[in-house]
């Protein structure tokens, strides 16, 4: 294992590189998304990972549930956009950095992930944005220090990813599944497809989530499978696409936010 810190690779592109600007932006998104009712502390969150201009308001609807929650460890799972991959891989670095500071990698959770079948592969993490963009939200939403274990998930069946997530759970651990939904349809088509995907998630039916329905489909199916096994409730928090936030309605990406309750 290398003892280095992974530097941010999409700061200044997906989110501001200036720490003050980033903090103000994330705090505003969280404030605007704060639930009207007292929040139920979720077991897991499902959130999008595009640039904050596009998916930030949707992601914030999930992270706004964390105010005051006692969370010491975060398990991050997302897709491999740049490296062909089967199964799950963990980062071997000592910490991940954002403009808001360093987040240490949890050595114990990393070891448990490897014991549960994940492999070490830093190359899969080097350019991957799907996990990095979640960290500033966590850094502003959580009031106490926390550790993370970043896991990139490639082609996998739902059951072993559900097993992996289950092996990493705990009373002070939050699981975050990073995925966008449909890609590059017109807005009306995207809304129809994403509604179908959301219905499959809410029904805890991983087999009805197709490979084109979500770029993080393998991690998404894994958490949905685990929720099915454990009879957990999944709540839909927000369902929009880039045409609803800042994009061209002719070619959109879908975004959903969900909470998985114990």
CB atoms within 10 A of CB 30: 21
Q: How far apart are CA 242 and CA 249, in angstroms?
A: 8
Give the pLDDT band (50/70/90) at residue 1. very low
Side-chain-side CA neighbours of 114 within 13 Å: the count stands at: 12
Residue-wise pLDDT tens digits, 116-172: 999 999 999 999 999 999 999 999 999 899 999 999 999 999 999 999 999 999 999
Q: Is the pLDDT of residue 67 over 90?
A: no
| Residue found by looking up tokens 């017109």 in the block | 186
Strand-pair category, 5-6 with 101-104: unpaired
Q: How far apart are CA 200 and CA 6, in angstroms?
A: 35
CA 103 to chain centre: 16
Q: What is the pTM of this model?
A: 0.96
DSSP labels, 223-239? HHHHHHHTT-EEEEEEE
Give the pLDDT band (50/70/90) at residue 193. very high
Residue-wise pLDDT tens digits, 6-63: 999 999 999 999 999 999 999 999 999 987 665 678 999 999 999 999 999 999 999 9
CA distances from 231 to 6, 71, 209, 210, 237 (A): 37, 22, 18, 22, 19
Residue-wise pLDDT tens digits, 165-183: 999 999 999 999 999 999 9
Q: How far apart are CA 228 and CA 200, in angstroms?
A: 11
For the chain, what is the radius of gyration of the CA atoms? 17
For domain 5-261, the CATH architecture is: 3-Layer(aba) Sandwich (3.40)
| Residue found by looking up tokens 């809410």 in the block | 202
CA distances from 58 to 50, 63, 254 (A): 10, 9, 10
- Output the pLDDT for position 47: 98
Percentage of the chain lying above the pLDDT 70 cut: 97
Residue-wise pLDDT tens digits, 83-97: 989 999 999 999 999
H helix count then E strand count, the chain: 10, 12
Give the pLDDT band (50/70/90) at residue 3. low
Task: Report phi then psi at 151, rounded to 5.
Answer: -130, 120
- Output the pLDDT for position 247: 80
Residue-wise pLDDT tens digits, 199-244: 999 999 999 999 999 999 999 999 999 999 999 999 999 999 999 9
Query: What SS3 class is residue 259?
Result: strand
Question: Which whole number is the average pLDDT over 63-85?
Answer: 92
- Output the pLDDT for position 69: 80
Q: How far apart are CA 56 and CA 151, in angstroms?
A: 21
Task: Report phi then psi at 238, rounded to 5.
Answer: -160, 145
DSSP state of 105: B
- The residue ranges of every structural domain in the chain are 5-261
| Length, in residues, of the chain | 262
Mean pLDDT taken over the chain: 95
């Amino acid at each position: 294992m290398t003892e280095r810190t992974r530097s941010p690779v999409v700061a200044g592109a997906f989110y501001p590189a200036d720490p003050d600007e980033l903090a103000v932006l994330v705090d505003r998104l969280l404030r605007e998304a704060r639930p009207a009712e007292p929040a139920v502390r979720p077991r897991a969150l499902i959130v999008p990972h595009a640039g904050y201009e596009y998916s930030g308001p949707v992601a914030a609807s999930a992270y706004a549930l964390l105010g005051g929650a006692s969370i010491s460890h975060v398990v991050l799972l997302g897709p491999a956009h740049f490296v062909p991959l089967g199964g799950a891989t963990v980062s071997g670095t000592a910490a991940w950095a954002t403009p808001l500071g360093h987040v240490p990698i949890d050595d114990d959770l990393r070891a448990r992930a490897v014991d549960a079948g994940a492999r070490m592969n830093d190359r899969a993490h080097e350019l991957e944005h799907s996990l990095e963009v979640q960290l500033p939200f966590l850094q502003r939403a959580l009031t106490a220090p926390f550790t993370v274990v970043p896991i990139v998930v490639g082609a996998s069946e739902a059951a072993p990813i559900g097993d992996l997530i289950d092996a990493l759970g705990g009373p002070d651990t939050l699981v975050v599944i990073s995925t966008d939904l449909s890609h590059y349809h017109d807005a009306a088509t995207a809304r129809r497809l994403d509604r179908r995907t959301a219905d499959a998630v809410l029904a805890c039916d991983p087999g009805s989530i197709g490979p084109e329905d979500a770029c993080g489909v393998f991690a998404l199916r894994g958490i949905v499978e685990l929720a099915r096994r454990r009879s957990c409730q999944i709540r839909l928090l927000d369902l929009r696409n880039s045409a609803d936030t800042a994009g061209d309605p002719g070619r959109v990406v879908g975004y959903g936010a969900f909470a998985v309750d114990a």
